[in-house]
Amino acid sequence: MKIELLKKSQLGKILAIQEAVLEEVGEAQFSPVPRNQISCRLHQGLSFGAYVDDNLVGVLVNFLDEAALPIYATKMGIPINLDAGYAQFFYIVAPAYRGQRIANQLLNQAIHAARQQDVQHVVATVAVDNVASLKMLFENRMQIRYAGNVYGEKIRFITHQDLRTPQNVDNYSRQYIASADIAAQQKIISQQFVGVGIQTSESGVAIGYEKMAPPEQATHQR
């Protein structure tokens, strides 16, 4: 497998993978990105494709929804603007190529490229029951900053990473909350906790939350 920058000429292939994923999992699990929001940022060097035998099998796109940007910033309680450097990542893998950590490699490459471009804020949304994506996001130091309605009535986590000033946390403060318990997660987030890990068991999926801390007080950094 190889990972390369996406080009505008590949927009049709990107949309075809998106359609295949939507057909497999449905709109409740997956929110497709409109064509214009994908195409407007393909030239900026933060969108990558994964290729197997020269076939595009996975993509990570830095897309822009200017109308949603202030809403996201408010929901997360983070002052974000385009001048500070902002990337919102959307990633999909063709159903036949799942389970090969393709999305993980795409996200790792995109975050590395974002640092090189001095992007400050990286954001991605994820369904609350998408265990594989949550594990991948946490592995790449993304933190849950919001739980609730994002796309209309759809419940999502908004994850975030500040690439200039990483958010430190106190790992001795960790508390696990059921992923499906949105009200409890909203409450703990309002108490200055962020989601940093995931735990699966016979009783279900739980998100690990840790208290935000200034650098001099932190016992762990995510």
pLDDT tens for residues 84-142? 788 889 999 999 999 999 999 999 999 999 999 999 999 999 999 999 999 999 999 99
Contact 193, 211 (CB under 8 A): yes
Structure tokens at 70: 């202030």
Q: How many domains does the chain contain in total?
A: 1
**Among 12, 108, 95, 26, which Cα is nearest to 60's?**
108
Considering the domain boundaries, does residue 199 fall inside one? no
Domain membership flag for residue 14: yes
The CATH number given to whatever domain includes residue 14 is: 3.40.630.30
Asked, for residue 133, whether it belongs to a domain, the answer is no
Low-confidence residues in the chain, pLDDT < 50 = 218
In degrees and rounded to multiples of 5, residue 132 shows phi and psi of -60, -45
In a domain, 116, yes or no: yes
Predicted confidence at residue 216, as pLDDT, reads 60
pLDDT of residue 219: 54
Contact 107, 133 (CB under 8 A): no
Do 122 and 89 touch, CB atoms closer than 8 A?
yes
Q: What gap in Å lies between CA 61 and CA 107, rounded to an integer?
A: 10
Which of 126, 116, 194, 122 has the alpha carbon at shortest distance from 157? 126
